[in-house]
Structure 1
């Protein structure tokens, strides 16, 4: 596919055709073990969260839904007559792209580069006090978690300024979409926009654009059985090139090796701390809140500190 043809075709499309979701800029909550407080919050100059490589996440269905929903959307549009047989045959076998377009900067020149990339994800929830999320951090009859309220727009701003200095790193945020009908509808709208602007000279570009759409939707679409998580994701796409790459580290979990990168950002992005449900009495909870407040203030934070309101007994 000639880049010149693609460059000519892209401006014809609606802005959200290839990236059909809004950036998330509100406050979301990162649930984690209390044992991670030192590595995340108690650093001298920044907060640090780990973003795990996308293809190593816990959900075995990660990344499979866009292609599945695309096939459903194509069939529906063909059956309803909104796309003809010729266009259906042109697009029906398209797979998610393994490459991505990056707008890179070098020596005062800006150019569009297509290349292989890696994607890393850090997860949050819109729910500040969710029993389903606390359950991930329970041991026996005890909850040993906390959540950190973070201004996602502020965090993204820090990362854009520290990671994306040459355009080879792209930071995005989005709410996860769980509803099947909504997922199909998102893809249908994109297909119809591509169909409207498709001419014979752009047929190869249409295929690449659909592959880009499906790749962009991989971290955004999840099965409805995970809807209780109300997940917000920040994901980092990194162009594969030898220079200027964040350091990749490795951790293990349940027998799996998981690559990750550390995302450092300003302490001013932190908005709150919540301690998980406790079996202690009110006096014990208040004492722990005071210790946590003292800890945060001693490390340069001015944030709200409270305990979960969920009234569990065991």
Structure 2
């Protein structure tokens, strides 16, 4: 987590510079039938450790973009030489490593209520049926009660190279100024530590342009590591690996809709979901079958 001296810079980059979802539009969490039942019954979402959910190419991509940004002849200013040297070392060392100072948990959503590519991922069932849950993202965020060692961020994933470069330019300019004005080696070291943390968080929001059709929105919870305290995570098993996650409660009024994938069982699926919503106390929730034609 950032120190007090550069706390504002850290928050501006990881909180305010990230584009937010439309305030009036829901964000959609795609899931399987069993996942839907678990989420609605328990009133909780799982926020899983990012290191276990993505291959290393996603982290590496941010560093590829940053390297291109630093090579631009029209970079907005001449960087402090010592800072540039340190940043170059970070570029060479950090892309394939795990975060040193904190844990990072991610929950993924989409701005698209009827995405064929996402349906395809969650419809591996006997009936070929999957679901999404439309959340009011502000009500969902307000449900999260972070501990003192946690930070919560929410933003749209950036896919367009010009938007990615603009965000990283702002980050480099800000930390260059902080490094140049630091009055001691200890302060300079703290700036670089925070820069590494900032890069690790931003890597969750900068993805290859080929994935733009996912229109992803992410909630990220970062938690400071403490060697004297347990991380207080829960664990689920996947392919023999124990994956840490946090459970976050949400209020029933944060749920605005349930989407149903293209399926031959559309009417029965909608009928079952409507009864389930009533019995679990979810009111004024729309059940919306997909508008995508089903191929026979």
Aligned to 1:28: 27
Q: Is the 8 A contact 1:177 1:183 kept in 2?
A: yes
Q: 2:85 is matched with which residue: 85, 89, 96?
A: 89
Going from structure 1 to structure 2, the CA distance change for 1:82 and 1:58 (only over 3 Å counts) comes to closer
Q: 2:168 is matched with which residue: 187, 191, 215?
A: 187
Aligned to 2:193: 208
Q: 2:114 is matched with which residue: 124, 129, 138?
A: 129
Q: Is the 8 A contact 1:74 1:88 kept in 2?
A: no
The structure where helix makes up a greater share of residues is 2
Matches within 5 A, 1:23-172: 23-24=20-21, 26-43=25-42, 47-76=43-72, 82-84=77-79, 86=81, 87-94=83-90, 98=99, 116-139=101-124, 142-160=127-145, 164=146, 166-172=147-153
Q: Is the 8 A contact 2:14 2:153 kept in 1?
A: no
Distance 2:102 2:114 in 1: 35
Aligned length: 280
Distance 1:60 1:265 in 2: 31
Distance 2:247 2:135 in 1: 16
Distance 2:5 2:267 in 1: 62
Matches within 5 A, 1:201-280: 201=183, 203-241=188-226, 245-253=231-239, 256-280=241-265
Going from structure 1 to structure 2, the CA distance change for 1:14 and 1:300 (only over 3 Å counts) comes to closer
Q: Is the 8 A contact 2:235 2:242 kept in 1?
A: no
Q: Is the 8 A contact 1:279 1:313 kept in 2?
A: no
CA deviation after TM superposition for structure 1 residue 308, in Å: 0.8
Q: 1:177 is matched with which residue: 133, 158, 173?
A: 158
The structure where strand makes up a greater share of residues is 1
Distance 1:245 1:60 in 2: 23
Residues 41-70 of structure 1: per-residue CA shift (max 9 Å, x gap): 123xxx122222110114442322232222
CA deviation after TM superposition for structure 1 residue 90, in Å: 4.3
Going from structure 1 to structure 2, the CA distance change for 1:287 and 1:94 (only over 3 Å counts) comes to closer
Task: Compute the RMSD of aligned alpha carbons.
Answer: 2.9
Going from structure 1 to structure 2, the CA distance change for 1:188 and 1:248 (only over 3 Å counts) comes to same
CA deviation after TM superposition for structure 1 residue 246, in Å: 3.7
Task: Give the secondary structure class of the aligned counterpart of 1:219.
Answer: coil
CA deviation after TM superposition for structure 1 residue 30, in Å: 0.8
Going from structure 1 to structure 2, the CA distance change for 1:292 and 1:92 (only over 3 Å counts) comes to same
CA deviation after TM superposition for structure 1 residue 37, in Å: 3.0
Distance 1:123 1:199 in 2: 37
Aligned to 1:313: 295
Going from structure 1 to structure 2, the CA distance change for 1:140 and 1:289 (only over 3 Å counts) comes to closer
User: Which of the two has higher C-alpha Rg?
Assistant: 1
TM-score (ref. length: structure 1):
0.77
Is 1:298 matched with 2:293? no
Q: Is the 8 A contact 1:278 1:312 kept in 2?
A: yes
TM-score (ref. length: structure 2):
0.82
Going from structure 1 to structure 2, the CA distance change for 1:181 and 1:23 (only over 3 Å counts) comes to closer
Task: Give the secondary structure class of the aligned counterpart of 2:59.
Answer: coil
